[in-house]
């Protein structure tokens, strides 16, 4: 038997696992490259101002270090009230000054400001903090509220915060770092905390070297909480202990889909893109490529994941889902001047239509998805191939527009804005051959769409925003620059053997992913099983 | 014969098995007497080395002994057949009773061990109770015997000259004071000065220790000068055996005759060298009858049919000698 | 120039050349660490955020490759390996320090063990050539041809499980902190057995074969026959005469294989999630983590050179002939 | 092959073909241990100041202890080693070739038979290949296949490998040592040289085969007027086959002259030792004198003066001090001429015993024993 | 003297050559190896035609164990694993042999030249091969393959070839150095041979064994490397090979799912190919080094029916009776007792 797993029962230990490979002692909460971020334990050491539930983005954020916040001047000014009675793990009290200092730190060190929030003026007095921004931060609300706060008395002494590995992290969270090894990081609960102390006395973050090892750990119970892609999860994971082994992968507002290069004939023709969108078998992709859970199926015509984005759907698209419709697709094509030569599809100029889709060679789920799409499009006479360059070449190809079609993802956010912004923002447009962008890989150029995006981000009123959002949906449905197949997820695998209280379909209070901001909220909810 | 130490009877040695076998030594009968030097000469490939190794069962595969006896006469004991010994008996017998000096001294010494190690390990193997100090002293003494300073004990073989290595081997051969020392062309690679030094030492040691030597060489002058008796081999058989003086002055077998007329003399008037016509036989396709007959100037019809028997020629008077040639019909055994 | 200086110059040159190649090759790859970071994690990032990463990694400066190269050489000379990108801002030396002991421990020990056991078996099989022991040869050949990652995976599938003695991954039990107490050591050993076994099985076979062949060759040397003639015991002839000489080529092979410890068994570490240098290198390569890659390459280069040097020395020590004059 | 290609068949037998003057060869020695750091360069002084002439139609024997540099002299003469100093002249023309065309032109006229026939034939090539190459390189292969075949057959016949068909397509390992040695000789003859450097061409053969090869060499000398350098350990064969004999000791020539004279009336103490040591069945064993012991000298740090002096029973005070020049020796074996003025083919010895010395120099270093 | 027609004289030449070839085939190990290798080569050649399915084609038989329709079962997409393995053979064989040839040619060029020439050029070449020896092969391959937009089979093969010659060059250099001093090389020089002829015709033929076993070694190395690369998802390219099969099996956690059929065939195929190559290598070794030759019998039967092993130091005695004499009454079993 494995003593490592046994002991967790008795000692109130929670075993978290991530498939991220060995770690190096680095607890800098600002840097994504630190072990604290990679494994997610920074979320238990440091705390945000508020918790945003991505699974249900319309829900009001849960106050955390800030008890209250108000936006003013069309989201260019934020006033925060900081909670009283919070102490750092070294005993010093947490004040508004610490919060202000954190924002100033980000402003002074662009390297730390991973979200690139444009902080302008930051001031604090008493329990109040005021932050002023140069432009509307409507779409950045979540990022700002989720910012982890660090103690001024420690960080002001750090000469170079960007190259600081923070060996002894001092935070306001309920846990402190107990021990660090490249394999396992152990956190222990503090003596005092501004809330009721969590039931989990110790959290162990183990880093497994890859998905296989992580899956095995989940299956054996060595890891109780994780976020990993498991092919055929029933066979490999849940069947080992159906009563306790659970997974919950709610969709969030971000997508994966087949991006077309809209500047390459014949794929510059929206009718062709729409036709392809109509024949993609999303069920196969979901069950075979995404193992029936990982990236939830998106079959709404607007590409917005449901139910997370339900409130944003334009009325005309309500309940409009895409089903495989080969005949419809063919009709659409012939209407647009395409012809069929026997089985083969010819574009209006008479050229046979082929589709070269690229995906990095090692990405098994994407490759599987493309194999499925390849099969699907052959039904409308398109001869497709799947090209498997290496990840770097692929990244470069997308960056410079040197591709026909590729599976890729978008950013996610609290609204569908991030999805559309990534796909259609003209500000990100670069001609084929030029690169250096992060979005609009399909070279989609439509001033109308760009204007709608700007409206949504900067509009002073809700009505303009709604109108802009509906506009974006119409453009998407019409032009279909990306055939969206799946949603991004915020899920996780967990075991209810030792701990209960996890978020799930019935109680979606937070995403189930152990590295997201809500991880602390999840741990606070956990109770020993029976 | 009462003073024999080693008696070889009907020894047959093959390389390989069955039809492919090369019969390298056939029906060899040979007696080595106590304290004598028995020279073994013959054409290259006539089986001299094979015979020497066969005596102690040291032939490498695919060599096999297909028949015969090698009787070793222990002091005062019953003769034992070397070919019937178990491996353990053979190990105990080797070196303690018969030692061998191999053809190439460079290859006979293990290049990675010091001379001292190689000298002492043989003593240790046969006398495990001896102390290291005693063994080392003995090794030093042995080197002294063969005229090498004791400080060479710590040398590696490659640090010694060819002559010195050869002498180390001779010293090693004497380590256990064996009764028989077999030497296979021990001096071919050396110049005459060194050769003579070594042989002189060997003669002295033999006089002191009283062992017998089987001495194999191509150098007939050396053989005649150095050995008491000489056996001539041809085609895997012994064709003639006599005391060295006898053989030199009066070779009976046409092959011996030819051999002795093939080497030039350093002194005296230059004599005519006639050599032996023809080329050596192929062991795989030995001519029938006397294997020398295709080259023999005196060949008779009978020579091509019947193998001549090695025996004392009936026209012979004087000390022991045998020959296998139809020119010299032999007495019946013992008569 | 004396021989020794020449030798040193030769090693220095090789080291320099390898370091230079190791510097340039990763940099001619398309893409950069930031892009790789995003792509690899299917990360989501706005264009401005991407820029902040360039700033963070110090990649925003417009330095020519050559300038970077000289900066790198300068840092190297002062013993500074730079900061890793993947684990930014952890120093490369710390990352390597975390992985190296595990690699050396697991792969190092098994390499040595494989050599020792393989050589011993090879000695015996070669000495008894023609006996039943020869039947082992085809088996060994087959076993040595199995890719060891495959062997490892099968071992994991068959031998590990919730109730198994063998853990499937890691170097020690979760929650233990490395320190020399019996629990930790026991745990390390338990975790090491399976990976060690796969390496052992596949590396041993090679040694068996080469040692066996050398034994067969050496057994027919004259000095071995002499040793038999001397009436030494079979053991003594086998070990002190045949094996001692047959060992020589194996030893230099072994010394060189020591050099491949770090780079060679990456897959075992991947398959068994063993937190060694190979795994780190694999990740560094995927992440375009130049500093870490170079750091590990440097270790590999140095260890291969060191191994070469050891091979020289071992030969000198074992074979008195190489110490010969003229 | 015709004999007409060789120069005037009837010329004087004393014509010098190849000449070495003051030939010296030092081999650098690999350093070890502590010496690695020192600057001193150590070397094996394998050949030191050797002067030698090879005559048309004459066999010159070179005898001496093993390791005295005989093979090195032969290789130097064949231009296979660069020499440290000294000169080599072919028909009076100094030669110094490092390779390329001029070396090939030289190798056509001067050919060498290597000491070890087991090593000097490439195991992967047949007799035919070895011989064809020798013929082709030097343009003796004729113009068509038939002529080439004829030339091959001629060569093999000449070295008595008959019938040629039986040997022509054999690999070296299928030949006996004597046969190999004869193939090596045939190869050298294939170039149709003027000079043959034969390095122990019969060392590995038993006496009967040895005789055949030596008779062949004599025949070549007589029919083709080759100049032959015959290196051997077998002094008796030198007496029989060589017109002139030189004796080498530790890198230098210590005595030379007519073979019969040198072997029957050796002048130099080393030659005397050598002749005395040679086995001789006609000599009663008691007659053999103790030729002195002692190891051959190190060539890295050779003894000063006369290199033989540490072993010489007649060593005098001058011997360790000055290296002796060549002194001519009269027919009775007594000193007969001044140093250096030694005529071609005349008997000489490099030993102070035959020099003009003051009495102080003649003081014996050790008690003379025996002689 | 009669002119012997060249045809007549050259006929016997065939005899020794034939004998040599036969000896190689006569080695049972090499024969097994060659047969296996031939089998794989055949599959490589005709694989695409004999494969029952398109290896990439999906079907509705998801993750099925071996059956009559799918001999090696199916993948998570319903692809036929048997077809994948069969079609994948080609890539493996091509990579192995192309890489083997490239590396062998390079190692011969560098090793032999640097060994024979000596001087500064030799030092430079030797340093070059040392540098390549020091470069870590697998990581380097991972890096280089990511430099190239597409890594087809041939690219991988060439890359492996160009990065793995150093070991062979080193061995060949050492061998050449020792051959250079051989008398027959000197003798060829003394005969007047040109340098290039000496290298090509005197030295190279004597290196055949080293070159051949180096070639086989490189083939094994290249095959393993390709499969390893494919297995970790680098340079899997678009084609199928055994590594790709394993890669898919691994990424779909086939073993965890109990789909052993996904893993086992490709792994065994690799092991079999490796074994075949090693066996051929044995053949080469034993063919060239007479001392390793196991062709002859290693044990013999004595006259009294015992089996004795032939071994150095203890020559077997088949019958220890002088011919024509009656055996003495000593117990016959005492001699020739095998010791091992
Ligand atoms: N392994 C072997 N296989 C087949 N034949 C062999 C083998 N070893 C030796 N022979 C043959 O056995 C015969 C006798 O060889 P042996 O070595 O005894 O001759 P030798 O008289 O010692 O010759 P030399 O004077 O050249 O040393 C030779 O003709 C040789 O070809
Ligand atoms: N290539 C070399 N490098 C270093 N030393 C050498 C070399 N060749 C020969 N020597 C040394 O030069 C000396 C003379 O050697 P050489 O081969 O000329 O002797 P030799 O008279 O032919 O001896 P032998 O009669 O044994 O053939 C020896 O001490 C030998 O060790
Ligand atoms: Mg012999
Ligand atoms: Mg010589
Ligand atoms: Ni007679």
CA B56 to CA B53: how far, in whole Å? 6
Nearest CA in chain D to E194: D100
Give pLDDT, residue A373. Answer: 93
B46 lines ligand 1 (CB under 6 A): yes
Q: Is the pLDDT of residue B190 over 80?
A: no
The better pLDDT of the pair D205, E340 is held by D205
**Block residue for tokens 């160009």:** E162
CA geometry: angle at B112 spanning B106 and B115, to 5°?
A: 70
B26 lines ligand 1 (CB under 6 A): no
Round the average pLDDT of chain B to a whole number and report it.
Answer: 85
B45 lines ligand 1 (CB under 6 A): yes
D38 within domain boundaries? no
Share of chain D above pLDDT 70, in %: 83
D68 lines ligand 2 (CB under 6 A): yes
The better pLDDT of the pair D220, D7 is held by D220
Give pLDDT, residue A326. Answer: 93
pLDDT digits (tens, 9 = 90+) for D85-112: 889 999 888 887 776 788 888 888 899 9
Give pLDDT, residue E20. Answer: 47
- Given an 8 Å threshold on Cβ–Cβ distance, is D187 in contact with E186? no
Output the CA B280–ligand 3 centroid distance in Å.
15
Instruction: Note which residues in 53-82 of chain B have CB less than 8 A from chain D.
Output: none
pLDDT digits (tens, 9 = 90+) for A213-240: 888 889 888 899 999 988 888 888 999 8
Q: Does C179 touch chain A (CB under 8 A)?
A: no
CA geometry: angle at E129 spanning E126 and E134, to 5°?
A: 125
Facing E321 at nearest CB: one of B59, B69, B87: B69
pLDDT tier for residue A4 given thresholds of 50, 70 and 90: very low
Q: Is the pLDDT of residue C247 over 80?
A: yes
Give pLDDT, residue D63. Answer: 92
pLDDT digits (tens, 9 = 90+) for C105-120: 888 888 889 999 999 9
Output the CA D45–ligand 2 centroid distance in Å.
10
Instruction: Note which residues in 95-134 of chain C have CB less than 8 A from chain A.
Output: 95, 98-99
Output the CA E203–ligand 5 centroid distance in Å.
50
Phi then psi dihedrals of residue D169, to 5 deg: -105, 20
Give pLDDT, residue B105. Answer: 64
B120 lines ligand 1 (CB under 6 A): no
**Block residue for tokens 């590295």:** A515
D193 within domain boundaries? yes
Count how many Cα atoms sit within 13 Å of the Cα of residue B10 in the half-sphere of its side chain. 14
Which two structure tokens, joined as six digits, stand for A404?
């026909």
* Least confident span in A401-405, B174-178, B237-241, C297-301: C297-301
Nearest CA in chain E to C279: E139
pLDDT tier for residue E293 given thresholds of 50, 70 and 90: low
D330 within domain boundaries? no
CA E135 to CA C297: how far, in whole Å? 8
Mean pLDDT of B135-158: 86
Its domain, for residue D214, covers 45-281+297-302
Q: How many other C-beta atoms can be found within 10 angstroms of the C-beta atom of residue A350? A: 8
pLDDT digits (tens, 9 = 90+) for E52-65: 888 888 888 888 89
D361 within domain boundaries? no
Q: Which residues surround ligand 4, an ion (CB under 5 A)?
A: D 71, 115
From residue E117, alpha-carbon distances to A193, E126, E172, E175, E196 in Å are 79, 11, 13, 13, 10
Helix, strand, or coil here: E146?
helix
* Least confident span in A96-105, B290-299, C28-37, D315-324: C28-37
CB pairs B-D closer than 8 Å: 115
Domain harbouring D82, CATH code: 3.40.50.300
pLDDT tier for residue D284 given thresholds of 50, 70 and 90: low
The better pLDDT of the pair B180, E77 is held by B180
pLDDT digits (tens, 9 = 90+) for A165-214: 888 999 999 999 999 988 889 999 999 899 999 999 999 999 888 888 88
D291 within domain boundaries? no
The pTM assigned to this predicted structure is 0.82
D103 within domain boundaries? yes
Q: Is the pLDDT of residue A525 over 90?
A: yes
CA D229 to CA A421: how far, in whole Å? 97
- Does the complex come out with an ipTM higher than 0.85? no
Q: Is the pLDDT of residue E2 over 50?
A: no
Give pLDDT, residue A45. Answer: 95
In chain D, which residues have their Cβ closer than 8 Å to the Cβ of B194? 65-66, 296
Dihedral (CA of D241, D242, D246, D251) sign: negative
CA D337 to CA D356: how far, in whole Å? 10
Q: List CB contacts of B207: < 8 A, sequence separation 6 or more.
A: none
In chain E, which residues have their Cβ closer than 8 Å to the Cβ of D99? 195
Q: List CB contacts of A180: < 8 A, sequence separation 6 or more.
A: A25, A27, A35, A186
Single out the residue of B90, B50, B42, B82 nearest to residue B220, CA to CA. Answer: B42
Give pLDDT, residue A446. Answer: 92
DSSP notation for E24-44? HHHSHHHHHHHHHHHHHHHHH
D181 lines ligand 2 (CB under 6 A): no
From residue C164, alpha-carbon distances to A5, C154, C157, C161 in Å are 12, 15, 11, 5
Q: How many other C-beta atoms can be found within 10 angstroms of the C-beta atom of residue B92? A: 15
Share of chain C above pLDDT 70, in %: 91
Round the average pLDDT of chain A to a whole number and report it.
Answer: 89
Give pLDDT, residue A83. Answer: 93
pLDDT digits (tens, 9 = 90+) for C161-193: 777 788 877 788 777 777 788 888 888 888 888
Facing B111 at nearest CB: one of C231, C236, C321: C321
Give the best residue of D124, D186, D199 to mutate against chain E (max E CB count within 10 A).
D124
pLDDT digits (tens, 9 = 90+) for B21-72: 788 898 899 999 988 999 999 887 788 888 998 888 888 877 888 888 899 9
CA C322 to CA E89: how far, in whole Å? 47
Give pLDDT, residue D332. Answer: 59
Q: Is the pLDDT of residue B162 over 70?
A: yes
**A505-508: Cβ within 8 A, 24+ apart:** A505/A248, A505/A250, A508/A53, A508/A55, A508/A56, A508/A250
Give pLDDT, residue D6. Answer: 37
Which two structure tokens, joined as six digits, stand for C208?
């068996």
Share of chain E above pLDDT 90, in %: 14
D141 within domain boundaries? yes
Q: Is the pLDDT of residue E325 over 70?
A: no
Q: Is the pLDDT of residue C135 over 80?
A: no
DSSP tag of A245: E
Helix, strand, or coil here: D85?
strand
C261, C54 contact by CB (below 8 A): no
Q: Which of D45, D50, D68, D113 for a ligand 2 pocket mutation test, highest count of atoms within 8 Å of Cβ? A: D68
DSSP tag of A300: B
Give pLDDT, residue C182. Answer: 86
The β-bridge partners of A256 are A409, A486
DSSP tag of A157: T
Output the CA B49–ligand 3 centroid distance in Å.
4
From residue C117, alpha-carbon distances to C13, C121, C209, C307, E103 in Å are 36, 6, 12, 20, 31
CA A329 to CA B219: how far, in whole Å? 104
The ligand that comes nearest to the alpha carbon of residue B313 is 5
List the strands of the sheet with B180-184, edge to edge. B98-101, B180-184, B212-216, B37-42, B229-234, B237-243, B322-323
CA A3 to CA B144: how far, in whole Å? 71
pLDDT digits (tens, 9 = 90+) for D244-253: 999 999 889 9
CA C305 to CA B79: how far, in whole Å? 63
pLDDT digits (tens, 9 = 90+) for B87-125: 888 888 998 899 988 876 667 888 888 999 999 999 998
pLDDT digits (tens, 9 = 90+) for D185-209: 899 988 889 999 998 887 767 777 7
D228 within domain boundaries? yes
- Given an 8 Å threshold on Cβ–Cβ distance, is A396 in contact with C40? no
Q: List CB contacts of E331: < 8 A, sequence separation 6 or more.
A: none
Round the average pLDDT of chain E to a whole number and report it.
Answer: 77
pLDDT tier for residue A472 given thresholds of 50, 70 and 90: very high
Burial degree of E35 (CB within 10 A; 0-12, 13-18, 19+): exposed
Give pLDDT, residue C321. Answer: 67
Give the count of domains, chain D: 1
Give the best residue of A390, A399, A403 to mutate against chain E (max E CB count within 10 A).
A390
The better pLDDT of the pair C272, A354 is held by A354
Give pLDDT, residue D34. Answer: 47
Q: List CB contacts of C240: < 8 A, sequence separation 6 or more.
A: B110, B113, B121, C227, C232
Pairing of strands D244-249, D59-64: parallel
């Amino acid at each position: 038997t494995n003593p490592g797993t046994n002991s967790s029962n008795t000692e109130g230990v929670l075993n978290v696992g991530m498939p991220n490979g060995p770690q190096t002692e680095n607890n800098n909460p600002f840097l994504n490259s630190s072990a604290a971020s990679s494994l997610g334990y920074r979320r238990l050491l440091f705390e945000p101002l508020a918790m945003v539930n991505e699974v249900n983005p319309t829900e009001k954020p849960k106050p955390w270090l800030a008890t209250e916040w108000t936006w003013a001047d069309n989201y260019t000014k934020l006033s925060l009230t900081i909670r009283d009675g919070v102490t750092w793990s070294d005993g010093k009290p947490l004040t508004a000054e610490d919060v202000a200092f954190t924002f100033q730190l980000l402003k002074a060190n662009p390297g730390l400001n991973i979200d690139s929030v444009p902080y302008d003026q930051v001031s604090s007095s008493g329990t109040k903090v005021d932050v002023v921004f140069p432009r509307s931060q409507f779409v950045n609300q979540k990022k700002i509220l989720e910012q982890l706060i660090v103690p001024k008395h420690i960080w002001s002494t750090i000469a170079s915060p960007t190259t600081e590995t923070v060996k002894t992290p001092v935070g306001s969270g309920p846990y402190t770092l107990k021990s660090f090894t490249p394999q396992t990081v152990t956190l222990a609960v503090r003596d005092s905390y501004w809330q009721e102390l969590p039931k989990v006395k110790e959290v162990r973050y183990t880093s497994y070297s890859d998905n296989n090892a992580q899956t095995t750990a989940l299956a054996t119970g060595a890891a109780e909480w994780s976020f990993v892609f498991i092919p055929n999860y029933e066979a490999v994971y849940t069947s080992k202990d159906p009563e306790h082994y659970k997974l919950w992968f709610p969709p969030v507002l971000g997508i994966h889909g087949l991006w077309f290069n809209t500047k390459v004939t014949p794929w510059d023709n929206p009718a062709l893109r729409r036709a392809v969108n109509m024949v993609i078998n999303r069920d196969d992709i979901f069950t075979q490529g995404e193992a029936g859970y990982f990236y939830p199926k998106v079959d709404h015509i607007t590409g917005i994941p449901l139910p997370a984005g339900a409130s944003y759907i334009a009325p005309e698209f309500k309940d409009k889902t895409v089903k495989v419709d080969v005949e419809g697709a063919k009709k659409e094509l012939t209407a647009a001047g395409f012809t069929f030569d026997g089985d083969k599809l010819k574009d209006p100029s008479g050229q046979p239509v082929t589709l070269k889709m690229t995906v990095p060679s090692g990405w098994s789920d994407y490759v599987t998805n493309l194999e499925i799409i390849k099969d699907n499009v052959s039904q409308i006479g398109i001869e497709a191939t799947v090209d498997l360059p290496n990840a770097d070449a692929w990244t470069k190809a997308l960056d410079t527009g040197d591709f026909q079609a590729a599976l890729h993802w978008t950013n996610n956010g609290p609204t569908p804005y991030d999805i559309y912004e990534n796909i259609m923002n003209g500000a990100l447009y670069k001609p084929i051959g030029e690169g250096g962008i992060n979005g609009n890989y399909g070279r989609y150029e439509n001033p109308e769409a760009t204007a709608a995006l700007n409206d949504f981000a900067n509009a002073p009123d809700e009505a303009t925003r709604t109108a802009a959002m509906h506009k974006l949906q119409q453009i998407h449905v019409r032009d279909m620059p990306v055939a969206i197949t799946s949603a991004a997820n915020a899920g996780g695998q967990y075991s209810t053997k030792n701990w209960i209280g996890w978020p799930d379909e019935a109680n979606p209070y937070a995403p189930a992913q152990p590295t997201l901001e809500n991880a602390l909220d999840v741990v606070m909810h956990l109770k020993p099983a029976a | 014969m009462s003073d024999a130490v080693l008696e070889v009877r009907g020894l047959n040695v093959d390389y390989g098995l069955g039809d492919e076998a090369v019969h390298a030594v056939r029906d060899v009968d040979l007696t080595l007497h106590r304290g004598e030097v028995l020279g073994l000469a013959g054409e290259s490939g006539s089986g001299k080395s094979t015979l020497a190794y066969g005596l102690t069962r040291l032939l490498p595969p695919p060599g096999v002994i297909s028949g015969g006896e090698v009787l070793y006469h222990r002091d005062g004991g019953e003769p034992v057949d070397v070919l019937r010994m178990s491996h353990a008996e053979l190990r105990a017998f080797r070196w303690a009773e018969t030692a061998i000096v191999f053809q190439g001294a460079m290859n006979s010494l293990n290049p990675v061990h010091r001379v001292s190690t190689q000298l002492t390990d043989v003593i240790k193997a046969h006398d495990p109770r001896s102390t290291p100090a005693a063994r080392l002293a003995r090794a030093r003494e042995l080197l002294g015997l063969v005229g090498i300073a004791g400080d060479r004990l710590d040398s590696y073989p490659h640090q010694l000259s060819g002559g010195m290595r050869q002498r180390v081997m001779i010293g090693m051969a004497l380590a256990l004071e064996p009764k028989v020392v077999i030497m296979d062309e021990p001096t071919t690679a050396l110049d005459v000065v060194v050769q003579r030094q070594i042989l002189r030492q060997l003669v002295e040691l033999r006089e002191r220790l009283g062992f017998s030597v089987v001495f194999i060489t191509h150098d007939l002058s050396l053989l005649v000068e150095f050995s008491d008796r000489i056996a001539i081999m041809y085609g895997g058989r012994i064709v003639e055996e006599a005391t060295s003086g006898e053989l030199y002055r009066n070779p009976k077998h046409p092959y011996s005759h030819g051999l002795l007329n093939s080497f030039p003399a350093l002194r005296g008037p230059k004599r005519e060298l006639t050599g032996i016509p023809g080329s050596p036989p192929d062991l795989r396709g030995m001519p029938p009858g006397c294997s020398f007959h295709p080259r023999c100037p005196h060949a008779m019809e009978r020579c091509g049919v019947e193998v001549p028997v090695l025996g004392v020629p009936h026209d012979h008077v004087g000390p022991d000698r045998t020959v296998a040639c139809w020119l010299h019909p032999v007495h019946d055994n013992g008569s | 120039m004396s021989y020794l200086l020449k030798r040193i110059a030769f090693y220095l040159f090789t080291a320099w050349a390898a370091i230079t190649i190791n510097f340039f090759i990763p940099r001619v790859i398309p893409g950069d660490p930031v892009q790789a970071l995003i792509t690899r994690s299917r990360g989501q990032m706005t264009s401005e955020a991407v820029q902040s990463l360039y700033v963070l990694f110090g990649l925003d400066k417009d330095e020519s490759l050559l300038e970077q190269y000289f900066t790198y050489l300068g840092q190297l000379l002062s013993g500074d390996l730079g900061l890793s990108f993947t684990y930014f801002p952890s120093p490369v030396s710390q990352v390597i320090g975390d992985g190296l002991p595990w690699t050396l421990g697991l792969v190092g020990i098994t390499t040595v063990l494989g050599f020792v056991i393989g050589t011993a078996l090879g000695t015996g099989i070669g000495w008894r050539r023609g006996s039943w022991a020869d039947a082992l040869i085809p088996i060994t050949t087959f076993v040595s041809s199995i890719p060891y990652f495959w062997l490892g995976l099968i071992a994991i599938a068959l031998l590990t499980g919730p109730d198994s003695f063998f853990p499937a991954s890691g170097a020690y039990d979760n929650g233990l902190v490395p320190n020399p107490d019996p629990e930790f050591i026991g745990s390390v050993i338990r975790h090491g057995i399976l990976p060690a076994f796969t390496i052992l099985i596949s590396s041993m076979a090679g040694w068996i074969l080469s040692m066996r062949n050398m034994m067969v060759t050496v057994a027919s040397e004259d000095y071995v026959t002499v040793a038999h003639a001397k009436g030494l015991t079979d053991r003594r002839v086998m070990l002190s005469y045949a094996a001692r000489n047959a060992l020589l080529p194996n030893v230099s092979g072994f010394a060189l294989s020591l050099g491949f410890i770090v780079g060679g068994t990456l897959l075992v570490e991947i398959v068994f999630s063993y937190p060694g240098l190979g795994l780190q290198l694999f990740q560094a390569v995927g992440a375009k983590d130049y500093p870490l890659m170079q750091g590990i390459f440097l270790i590999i280069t140095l260890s291969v050179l060191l191994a070469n040097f050891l091979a020289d020395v071992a030969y000198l020590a074992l074979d008195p002939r190489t110490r010969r004059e003229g | 092959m015709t004999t007409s290609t060789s120069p005037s068949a009837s010329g004087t037998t004393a014509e010098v073909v190849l000449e070495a003057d003051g030939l010296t060869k030092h081999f650098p020695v690999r350093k070890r241990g502590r010496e690695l750091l020192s600057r001193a360069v150590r070397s094996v002084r394998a050949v030191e100041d050797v002067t030698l002439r090879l005559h048309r139609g004459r066999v010159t024997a070179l005898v001496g202890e093993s390791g005295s540099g005989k093979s090195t002299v032969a290789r130097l003469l064949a231009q296979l080693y660069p020499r440290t100093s000294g000169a080599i002249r072919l028909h009076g023309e100094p030669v110094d070739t490092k390779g390329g065309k001029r070396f090939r032109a030289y190798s056509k006229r001067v050919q060498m038979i290597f000491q070890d026939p087991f090593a000097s034939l490439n195991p992967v090539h047949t007799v035919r290949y070895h011989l064809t190459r020798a013929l082709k390189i030097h343009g003796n292969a004729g113009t068509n296949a038939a002529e080439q075949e004829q030339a091959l057959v001629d060569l093999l016949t000449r070295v008595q490998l008959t019938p040629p068909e039986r040997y022509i397509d054999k690999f070296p390992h299928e030949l006996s040592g004597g046969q190999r040695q004869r193939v090596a000789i045939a190869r050298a003859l294939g170039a149709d040289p003027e000079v043959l450097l034969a390095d122990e061409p019969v060392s590995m053969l038993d006496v009967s085969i040895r005789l055949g090869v030596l008779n062949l060499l004599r025949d070549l000398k007589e029919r083709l007027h080759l100049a032959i350098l015959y290196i051997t350990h077998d002094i008796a064969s030198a007496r029989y086959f060589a017109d002139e004999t030189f004796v080498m000791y530790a890198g230098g020539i210590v005595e030379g002259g007519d073979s019969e004279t040198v072997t029957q009336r050796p002048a130099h103490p080393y030659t005397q030792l050598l002749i005395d040591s040679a086995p001789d069945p006609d000599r009663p064993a008691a007659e053999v004198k103790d030729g002195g012991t002692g190891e051959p000298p190190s060539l890295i740090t050779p003894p000063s003066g006369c290199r033989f002096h540490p072993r010489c029973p007649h060593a005098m005070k001058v011997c360790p001090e000055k290296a002796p020049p060549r002194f001519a020796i009269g027919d009775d074996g007594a000193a007969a001429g001044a140093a250096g003025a030694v005529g071609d083919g005349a008997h000489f010895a490099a030993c102070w015993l035959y020099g003009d010395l003051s009495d102080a120099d003649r003081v014996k270093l050790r008690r003379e024993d025996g002689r | 003297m009669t002119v012997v027609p060249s045809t007549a004289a050259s006929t016997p030449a065939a005899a020794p050559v034939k004998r040599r070839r036969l000896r190689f085939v006569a080695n049972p190990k090499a024969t097994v190896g060659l047969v296996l290798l031939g089998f794989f080569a055949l599959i490589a050649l005709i694989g695409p035609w004999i494969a029952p399915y398109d290896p990439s084609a999906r079907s509705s038989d998801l993750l099925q164990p071996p059956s009559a329709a799918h001999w090696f079962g199916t993948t998570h997409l319903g692809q036929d694993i048997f077809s994948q393995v069969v079609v994948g053979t080609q890539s493996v064989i091509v990579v192995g042999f192309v890489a083997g040839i490239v590396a062998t040619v390079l190692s011969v060029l560098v090793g032999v030249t640097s060994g024979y020439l000596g001087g500064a050029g030799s030092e430079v070449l030797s340093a070059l091969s040392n540098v390549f020896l020091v470069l870590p092969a697998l990581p380097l391959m991972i890096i280089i393959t990511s430099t190239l937009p597409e890594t087809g089979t041939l690219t991988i093969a060439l890359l492996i070839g160009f990065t793995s010659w150093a070991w062979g060059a080193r061995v060949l250099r050492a061998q050449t150095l020792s051959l250079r001093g051989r008398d027959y090389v000197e003798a060829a020089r003394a005969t007047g041979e040109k340098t290039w002829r000496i290298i090509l015709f005197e030295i190279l033929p004597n290196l055949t064994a080293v070159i051949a076993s180096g070639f086989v070694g490189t083939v094994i190395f290249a095959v393993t490397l390709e499969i390893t690369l494919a297995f970790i998802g680098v340079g899997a390219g678009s084609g199928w090979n055994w590594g790709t099969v394993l890669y898919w099996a691994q990424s779909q956690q086939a073993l965890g799912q109990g789909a052993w059929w996904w893993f086992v065939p490709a792994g065994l195929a690799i092991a079999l190919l490796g074994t075949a190559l090693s066996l051929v290598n044995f053949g080469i070794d034993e063919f060239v080094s007479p001392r390793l030759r196991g062709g002859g019998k290693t044990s013999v039967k004595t006259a009294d029916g015992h089996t004795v092993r032939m071994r150095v130091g203890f020559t077997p005695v088949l019958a220890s009776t002088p011919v024509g004499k009656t055996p003495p009454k000593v117990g016959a079993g005492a001699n020739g007792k095998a010791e091992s």
